[in-house]
């Protein structure tokens, strides 16, 4: 046995894919033409797997803000937020995020992953309990592990299961954090937040909601699932990322609890990571302003999402439980998922391939990310590619209904 022995199984799986001419994890986007088009493997393709929900990555105001910040403040901070990495822009963005979510304050992290890692590990510790939805993102699980708290799961969106577990905790409920996502990234389904909040109130526990995939997508003002469900005041901690609707990179947490500011002194991912570059902060601030000033982007996104979802459902694919910016097709076995992913790329459509164990129910899926920047013609072309593959692959790409 060596340090590399545990990687041999991974090597075998990778070699099997490469031998079959399929290597999705090494696929490079060679050139970007727009928020919705790029060159991959030498051909022009439609991008339908980028999480660029509002299509804002080429927005002129965002690019101008990034350029201005770059020229004024340089390429990077070269330090953490606790050292020399808190610029005026970082503080301004925190104030703008707090105002956006109608919260007392906010903290900006270097990535969305670190926002979950830093907040959970800073809030809870040994002897505490984190009660989380089983389908939560890996960053949430890793934050729990880093914290040393006891981890308890309830079945995905099972409010009765959440209630039962809280009853069993007894007095430990005082030291319990419940964590859910507003919109889940694999199948695109939402958390039943009104019901979850009712349970939270009954047991008087704290609730963290990860709005990574629902920021800019849900709610009248784009504030996410908590706004759509009218429970903004009940979310003790709102965590999110800048790498989806805001078209950049970074993460945040907003809260009404004054103790949020103390997280800066105990969160290792916050203390020991270099802060976001000035150009990133400039772009995010402009994107957040655009999100609020241009609701038509969100309307276009939903028009596109509902159009693609309806088309794939009509074709007989096993899509997620409801329309949304994530339109996932679940397959019954890995070879069919690989064939579908490869076939779509050959037809000029790039999507995400997700394989077990990272998928709900351990079933492979291909995942489309819809954007406000997609044209109706592009949405129809994506649907046409799925339609063609359902026939050409003689069932290899046709999903089996759960």
Contact 244, 35 (CB under 8 A): no
pLDDT in tens, 156-176: 999 999 999 999 999 999 999
Which pairs count as long-range contacts for 91-99, CB under 8 Å and 24+ apart, including other chains?
92/285, 93/281, 93/284, 93/285, 93/288, 94/252, 96/285, 96/288, 96/289, 97/252, 97/254, 97/288, 98/254
User: Is position 213 annotated as part of the catalytic site?
Assistant: yes
Q: What are the E-state strand segments in 124-175?
A: 129-133, 150-154
Provide the pLDDT for residue 357.
81
| Residue whose pair of structure tokens reads 């704290």 in the numeric block | 206
* Mean pLDDT within 53-79: 98
Instruction: Evaluate if residue 238 carries a pLDDT over 60.
Output: yes
Q: Which residues pair with 250 in a beta bridge?
A: none
Provide the pLDDT for residue 335.
85
Q: How far apart are CA 349 and CA 51, in angstroms?
A: 15
* CA within 13 Å, CB half, 376: 1
SS3 298: helix
Which domains, from first to last, does the chain contain? 14-47+295-392 (3.90.1150.10), 60-293 (3.40.640.10)
Cβ neighbours around 222 below 10 Å, total: 22
Contact 398, 317 (CB under 8 A): yes
* Mean pLDDT within 107-131: 97
What is the residue-averaged pLDDT of the chain? 94
In the numeric block, which tokens belong to residue 64? 């101008």
SS3 34: strand
Name the catalytic one among 200, 244, 347, 374. 244
Provide the pLDDT for residue 391.
61
User: Is position 185 annotated as part of the catalytic site?
Assistant: yes
Provide the pLDDT for residue 399.
38
Higher pLDDT: 357 or 199? It is 199
Instruction: Provide the sign of the torsion angle of the four alpha carbons 340, 133, 241, 294, taken in this order.
Output: positive
| Global pTM value | 0.94
Name the catalytic one among 103, 156, 200, 213. 213
256 φψ region: left (φ > 0), alpha (ψ -120 to 50), beta (else)? alpha
Band of the pLDDT at 278, cuts 50, 70, 90?
very high
* Mean pLDDT within 180-206: 97
Name the catalytic one among 110, 121, 139, 185. 185
Provide the pLDDT for residue 197.
98
* Mean pLDDT within 362-387: 96
Is 296 exposed, middle or buried, given 0-12, 13-18 or 19+ CB atoms closer than 10 A? exposed
In the numeric block, which tokens belong to residue 394? 């003689």
């Amino acid at each position: 046995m060596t340090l590399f022995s545990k990687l041999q199984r991974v090597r075998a799986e990778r070699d099997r894919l490469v031998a079959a001419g399929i290597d999705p994890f090494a696929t490079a986007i060679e050139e970007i033409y727009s928020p919705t088009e790029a060159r991959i493997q030498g051909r022009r393709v439609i991008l339908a797997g980028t999480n660029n929900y509002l299509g804002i990555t080429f927005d002129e105001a965002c690019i101008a803000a990034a350029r201005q910040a770059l020229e004024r403040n340089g390429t990077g901070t070269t330090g953490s937020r606790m050292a020399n990495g808190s610029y005026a822009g970082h503080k301004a963005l925190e104030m703008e995020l707090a105002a956006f979510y109608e919260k007392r304050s906010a903290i900006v992290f270097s990535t969305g992953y670190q926002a979950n890692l830093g907040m959970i590990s800073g809030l809870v510790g040994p002897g505490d309990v984190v009660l989380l939805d089983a389908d939560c993102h890996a960053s949430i699980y890793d934050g729990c592990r880093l914290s040393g708290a006891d981890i308890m799961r309830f079945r995905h969106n099972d409010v009765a299961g959440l209630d039962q577990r809280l009853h069993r905790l007894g007095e430990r409920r005082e030291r319990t954090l419940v964590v859910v996502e507003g919109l889940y990234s694999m199948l695109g389904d939402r958390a039943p937040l009104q019901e979850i909040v009712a349970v939270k109130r009954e047991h008087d526990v704290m609730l963290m909601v990860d709005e990574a995939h629902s920021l800019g997508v849900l709610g009248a003002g784009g504030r996410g699932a908590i706004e759509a469900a009218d429970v903004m005041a009940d979310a003790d901690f709102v965590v999110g990322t800048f790498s989806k609707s805001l078209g950049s990179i970074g993460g945040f947490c907003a809260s009404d609890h004054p103790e949020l500011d103390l997280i800066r002194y105990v969160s290792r991912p916050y203390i020991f990571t270099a802060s976001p570059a000035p150009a990133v902060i400039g772009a995010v601030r402009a994107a957040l302003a655009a999100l609020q000033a241009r609701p038509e982007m969100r309307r276009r996104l939903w028009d596109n999402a509902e159009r693609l979802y309806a088309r794939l459902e009509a074709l007989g694919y096993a899509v997620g439980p409801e329309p949304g910016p994530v339109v996932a097709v679940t397959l019954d076995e890995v070879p069919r998922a690989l064939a579908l992913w490869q076939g779509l790329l050959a037809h000029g459509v790039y999507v995400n391939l997700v394989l077990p164990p990272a998928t709900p129910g351990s079933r492979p899926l291909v995942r489309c990310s819809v954007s406000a920047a997609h044209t109706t013609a592009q949405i129809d072309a994506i649907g046409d590619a799925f339609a063609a593959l359902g026939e050409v692959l003689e069932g290899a790409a046709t999903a089996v209904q759960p």
